[in-house]
Structure 1
């Protein structure tokens, strides 16, 4: 009879700051006796002073012995019962996949995934004795949204899949398993910058990635508001398998649900300006047709000016012609195929009978020009160059030893009839 009148018990990991601290407070205000854990138990002094129903306990998630001691402490205090287990604590590590430190990967997965599995295994027997037991996993939208932190994202994806499996397995035991898919919130965890060195392939987007993270932290949902809303939802009578909360969480939920994967990836690529990485790759990749150095920018500029003067065309048209004839075909994907065809057919006297071939070349350029495979890029580029130069057998590499005027004359001769 006494046990039935005892207040409900909740265990929350990672309560030294941020949403872990606020989750403990929100539960305490809902008349739970809360076991708040942290690596340094003294960091929880403010919590225990403010709330008599919050009990501070030490926990080192990467240490199995520490987990066992925590179970013993909770069992002793509650008589072997636990109503809610909230796995909140975790590590954050952000770096492109090409730059990761494998030792950090091991540490992160030990805390973010393995420790959560161990916690669930240890406390399921205690949860079985509660009238309505719940396991709440604090996940992240990064499980679905890859943004330059592959290790952390992978750990949250692993946590999500584990949670889905656990939910099915624990259904016969009447234990609810809830994943909180968290968007941006204000936290110190985001103040650790993305590890992108100056010699990294991704150095061109370092500032962009940092700006996005800082913006998410600045505009993120306050931790106390997040905790209040989340606790209200998982304490409600309605069983919610997933709770999406935090800044931009609902927008991302819509994108994940309704956007095809390629569109989601394309949107993220634009947001993080990944084309800058491609630009650097193209700049550093030698051409397969020649080992000679590329034309200097000054020479190309002179050639473009002469083209504009001799053909009486606009700077934009001259720029398009130069790109079609020589170097950077990637810029042309931003023009429409019909627009390019019109320029080559009407402006430069190309016979109308050639239009279908040019149109096919343009379409290949527009829709396939973002291929990552260097061989495919070279194939597209060579195909377009041949058609743009009226299949005279003139390759980009043939321009390497020519002056700007010679390039202009050569292009004029091959694009007029």
Structure 2
């Protein structure tokens, strides 16, 4: 049996980096998409580094061509892991940040899939998109990232149905909070960049963002390896699931998402401690 090949985007850290190491240890030929040379230098020996920026179509197409040249046109799996997180109230997040959120987390994932699907069809391979349980249930100051993950879940579903008759299996991994630096980076970036709107609008939400910060600080993130295990299952199971929930918090949120909207909204607001008095009106 020939060595299986996989492309993993967002391989510089977090889930992507851990997945690269795990699959390489399992004997896969791994192609790792990173944005910077410094990130490529930190990859394990034997892993093929590819410079990929999902909002740059030329790098996406170049990566696909390099894989095809190295493998004779065969790719067994794509793990679409690269992404960014934008947090903040819907009213305050600048439109350019909304666009970047969707350009990377949705359009970029589509671009990568489009570039390699001919190889995946030839191999009757797999696509594993890294989503989030927030696709099922959003919350205060979480609109941008949740909206992008909901869109990605819909794209994944459409692709799964389209590819089923052609033998390509498509899954989405939906973790809860994981122990990675991506949330810290998103918060720091937002504080540095600032909000849109005038001073009164920004003051209105100060209490809300503070409450969400306190709630996130109390949260207990799950281990990255839990997501990696789900990725491996999605890649190797004879009949992979359409969706893999990862983490106790993810399973809890998925259950809450099934509640009536009014009940769920009230429960969420009480849990994070937000009421009318929280707003500095």
TM-score, normalized by length of structure 2? 0.90
* Contact 2:136–2:254, Cα closer than 8 Å, also in 1: no
CA distance in 2 between counterparts of 1:37 and 1:178 reads 20
Say which of 203, 209, 233 aligns to 1:206. 209
Say which of 35, 38, 44 aligns to 1:42. 38
* Contact 1:190–1:213, Cα closer than 8 Å, also in 2: no
Structure number with the higher helix fraction is 1
Runs of 5+ unmatched residues, structure 1:
285-417
Residues 75-90 of structure 1: matches in 2 within 5 Å? 75-90=68-83
1:35-74 Cα deviation digits (max 9, x unpaired): 011101331323233xx2x211111111011111011111
CA distance in 1 between counterparts of 2:241 and 2:16 reads 20
CA distance in 2 between counterparts of 1:116 and 1:89 reads 8
CA distance in 1 between counterparts of 2:158 and 2:136 reads 17
Q: Secondary structure at the match of 1:248?
A: helix
CA distance in 2 between counterparts of 1:59 and 1:27 reads 19
Matched, 1:18 2:14: yes
Q: How many residues align?
A: 270
1:259-297 Cα deviation digits (max 9, x unpaired): 12222211111122220xx2266x84xxxxxxxxxxxxx
Change (3 A) 1:242 1:29: same
Q: Aligned-pair distance for 1:233?
A: 4.5
Which structure has more RCO (C-alpha within 8 Å, separation ≥ 6)? Answer: 2
Q: Secondary structure at the match of 2:30?
A: strand
CA distance in 2 between counterparts of 1:240 and 1:25 reads 23
Change (3 A) 1:234 1:71: closer
The CA RMSD over aligned residues, in Å, is 1.9
Once the two structures are overlaid, the 10-residue window that deviates more, 245-254 or 72-81, is 245-254
* Contact 1:220–1:247, Cα closer than 8 Å, also in 2: no
TM-score, normalized by length of structure 1? 0.61
* Contact 2:9–2:82, Cα closer than 8 Å, also in 1: yes
Runs of 5+ unmatched residues, structure 2:
none
In the other structure, the counterpart of 1:134 is 126
CA distance in 2 between counterparts of 1:115 and 1:229 reads 22
Matched, 1:32 2:28: yes
Q: Aligned-pair distance for 1:247?
A: 4.5
